[in-house]
């Protein structure tokens, strides 16, 4: 693969044209495409594999991810598919010697326990849908809104200049090549990202944790597991370290085991006979009949790219950050990358924001990546590698990581010097950089969450006496050509409990500017000085700043 800062004029003239080309059709790539297409952006996805993932990995969507999928228009379908799993039944996360052997620790005895930690912080529930089911839903939605997705196609070279990126694609089956001219290129091409490697972007972090072989197998476990059970078992067996999990298909299951090349072990050691032995040992079922479906080697690691942007090329998902699967945060974070990049690219491409807004993508999402990697490392050490307990970061807290993260960038007007990376979402402060607090309100006679007020554009949430701020939002929407909506508590939004102004920290006459991703960009508890004109001037200054205009 080659990259250059100059572009052949002939290739540019003959190339098909799109606004954004996404390399990679996994969770990061398909979510980026879906969110871009929903915003009217011409987007193309090139995926080297023949179709979406066939592996039931990255199962589980946390409430923040479900909020984003709601904005993508697929949350209802994801919930429906999640119900197929029987996710309201017993859900067990255990550290044990084997599935029916000695238990070292139990993390959740029911799905409701998992939900309980975040139920008061978000309007959306958890879902339990594996990657092989979620990706086709995203694919269909992306195509429905006009995205072009081609499989069996890989990026062989790319050249960027001041106006865009020319990408050469190869059909892996036929060998034919074609050029595509895009305004921007998104590298969502996995942990071993050829695009990131070509750009010589280094990574930092703990590094390799383990070499792993994963297996999907088919077996009747009705005599092994309780009826209707679903769950995850981290196995510290005397003969191996690994994990067993169920999938959304009752007859399919996942199993993985670590191996150590330093001891002369390799992926080739996992013969069908060895797999059958390991599965029987892990499930305490010496006579279990097993049908092996597919094996996949992979590396468990913790790494973050030093740069997430190189000119008009952006990294997303595992290309930007990889973390151990403990905690199920990787796939969720990849979708978060896709949403963040999509709304910012769309704002720039629609002329609503200056190119400088795109610099906030790396700054903000790397902050989340560091939280996710640290939390995943903590969980990995606690669940599978107790010898690492003193060498990994301390626990932040699951709810804090997924709902209480804080962004710091030029797209946020930070009002304090508090260095905290996350807060308890159950006591959300409403400060700039944090996700706007969730509480129940009414709009148009219907009950909804404040989270439902956000996502399509910028929203100015105003106190009961903040009419000047609401009027300023309407004027600036027309003046700046940006979707800005003013919503006043008690007028545009009914606040039955009278909590909105207090929870958002804006008082009776202040205002909070909330971004399209539901993150607070700026707020004030002060009345707009001399009325509407003062509000317009103040809000204009803030919008011009955070939009990099």
Confidence of residue 499 (pLDDT cuts 50, 70, 90): very high
At residue 121's C-alpha, the angle toward residues 120 and 124, to 5°, is 90
Residue 227 confidence (pLDDT) above 80:
no
Spatial distance between the Cα atoms of 345 and 339, rounded to a whole number of angstroms: 10
pLDDT in tens, 362-413: 999 999 999 999 999 999 998 888 889 888 999 999 899 999 999 999 999 9
* Integer Cα distance of 467 and 487 in angstroms: 9
- Tokens standing for 149? 């997705």
CA-nearest of 366, 364, 359, 363 to 310 is 359
- Which of 11, 7, 308 minimizes the C-alpha distance to 160? 7
Taking residues 442-452, report their average pLDDT.
95
Mark whether 398 is an active-site residue.
no
Say whether pLDDT at 7 is over 70.
Answer: no
Please check whether residue 451 is in contact with residue 125, taking contact to mean a CB–CB distance below 8 angstroms: no
What confidence tens digit (pLDDT) does each residue in 405-443 have? 999 999 999 988 899 999 999 999 999 999 999 999 999
Mean pLDDT of 507-528: 96
Q: Tell me the backbone φ, ψ of residue 15, rounded to 5 degrees.
A: -75, 145
Question: Which pLDDT score is estimated for 123?
Answer: 92
What pLDDT was estimated at residue 59? 79
Q: Is the pLDDT of residue 6 over 90?
A: no
pLDDT at 9: 57
Per-residue pLDDT tens over the stretch 131-151: 999 999 999 999 999 999 999
Lowest mean per-residue pLDDT among 7-11, 374-378, 471-475, 512-516: 7-11
Q: Which of 184, 206, 233, 234 is catalytic?
A: 234
Give the fold, CATH level 3, of 436-546: Glutaredoxin (3.40.30)
What are the tens digits of pLDDT across the range 327-363? 889 999 999 999 999 999 999 999 999 999 999 999 9
Q: Look at residue 113 in the predicted model and tell me its pLDDT.
A: 58
Structure tokens at 52: 């979406």
Predicted pLDDT at 228: 59
How far are the Cα atoms of 9, 186, 194, 199, 234 from residue 310, in angstroms, in the given order?
Answer: 22, 10, 14, 8, 39
Split at pLDDT 50, 70, 90, the class of 250 is confident
Residue 528: the pLDDT is: 86
What is the pLDDT at residue 54?
81
Q: How far is CA 187 from CA 43, 141, 198, 345, 347, in A?
A: 13, 21, 11, 14, 19
pLDDT value of position 478: 97
Long-range pairs, 80-88, Cβ under 8 A, ≥24: 81/127, 81/129, 81/133, 81/134, 81/137, 81/248, 82/127, 82/128, 82/129, 84/248, 85/128, 85/129, 85/230, 85/248, 86/228, 86/230, 87/111, 87/126, 87/127, 87/128, 87/230, 88/112
């Amino acid at each position: 693969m080659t990259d250059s800062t100059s572009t052949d004029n002939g290739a540019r003239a003959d190339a098909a044209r799109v606004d954004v080309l996404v390399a990679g059709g996994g969770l990061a790539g398909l979510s980026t495409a879906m969110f871009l297409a929903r915003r009217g952006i011409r987007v193309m996805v090139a995926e080297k594999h023949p179709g979406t993932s066939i592996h039931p990995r990255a199962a589980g969507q946390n409430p923040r991810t479900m909020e984003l999928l709601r904005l993508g228009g697929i949350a209802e379908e994801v919930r429906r598919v999640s119900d197929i799993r029987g996710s309201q039944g017993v859900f067990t996360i255990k550290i044990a010697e084997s599935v029916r052997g000695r238990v070292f620790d139990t993390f959740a005895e029911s799905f409701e326990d998992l939900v309980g930690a975040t139920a008061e912080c978000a309007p959306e529930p958890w879902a339990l849908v594996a990657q092989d089911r979620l990706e086709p839903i995203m694919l269909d939605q992306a195509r429905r809104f006009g995205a072009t997705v081609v499989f069996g196609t890989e990026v062989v070279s790319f050249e960027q200049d001041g106006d865009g990126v020319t990408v050469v694609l190869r059909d892996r089956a036929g060998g034919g090549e074609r050029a595509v001219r895009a305004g921007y290129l998104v590298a969502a091409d996995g942990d071993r990202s050829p695009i990131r490697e070509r750009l010589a972007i280094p990574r930092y972090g703990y590094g390799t944790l383990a070499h792993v072989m994963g297996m999907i197998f088919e077996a009747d476990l009705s005599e092994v597991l309780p009826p209707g059970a679903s769950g995850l078992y981290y196995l510290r067996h005397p003969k191996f370290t690994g994990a067993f999990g169920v999938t959304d298909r009752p007859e399919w299951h996942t199993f993985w085991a670590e191996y150590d090349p330093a001891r002369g072990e390799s992926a080739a050691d996992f013969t069908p006979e060895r797999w059958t032995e390991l599965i029987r040992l892990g499930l305490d079922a010496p006579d279990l009949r097993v049908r092996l479906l597919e094996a996949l080697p992979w590396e468990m690691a913790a790494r973050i790219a030093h740069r997430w942007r190189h000119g008009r090329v952006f990294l997303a998902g595992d290309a930007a950050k990889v973390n151990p699967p403990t905690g199920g945060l990787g796939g969720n974070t990849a979708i978060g990358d896709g949403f963040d990049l999509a709304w910012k690219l769309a704002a720039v491409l629609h002329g609503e924001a200056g190119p400088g807004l795109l610099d906030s993508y790396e700054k903000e999402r790397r902050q989340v990546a560091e939280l996710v990697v640290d939390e995943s490392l903590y969980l990995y050490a606690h669940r599978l590698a107790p010898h690492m307990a003193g060498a990994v970061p301390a626990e932040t807290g699951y709810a804090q990581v997924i709902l209480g993260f804080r962004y710091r960038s030029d797209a946020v007007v930070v009002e304090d010097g508090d260095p905290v990376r996350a807060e308890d979402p159950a006591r959300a402060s409403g400060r700039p950089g944090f996700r706007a607090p969730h509480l129940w309100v009414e709009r148009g006679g219907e009950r909804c969450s404040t989270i439902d007020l956000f996502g399509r554009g910028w929203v100015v949430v105003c106190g009961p006496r903040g009419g000047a701020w609401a009027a300023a939002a309407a004027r600036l929407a027309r003046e700046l050509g940006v979707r800005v909506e003013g919503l006043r508590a008690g007028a545009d939004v009914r606040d039955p409990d009278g909590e909105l102004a207090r929870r958002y920290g804006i008082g009776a006459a202040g205002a909070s500017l909330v971004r399209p991703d539901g993150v607070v960009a700026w707020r004030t508890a002060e009345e707009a000085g001399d009325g509407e004109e003062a509000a317009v001037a103040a809000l204009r200054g803030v919008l011009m700043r955070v939009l990099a205009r």
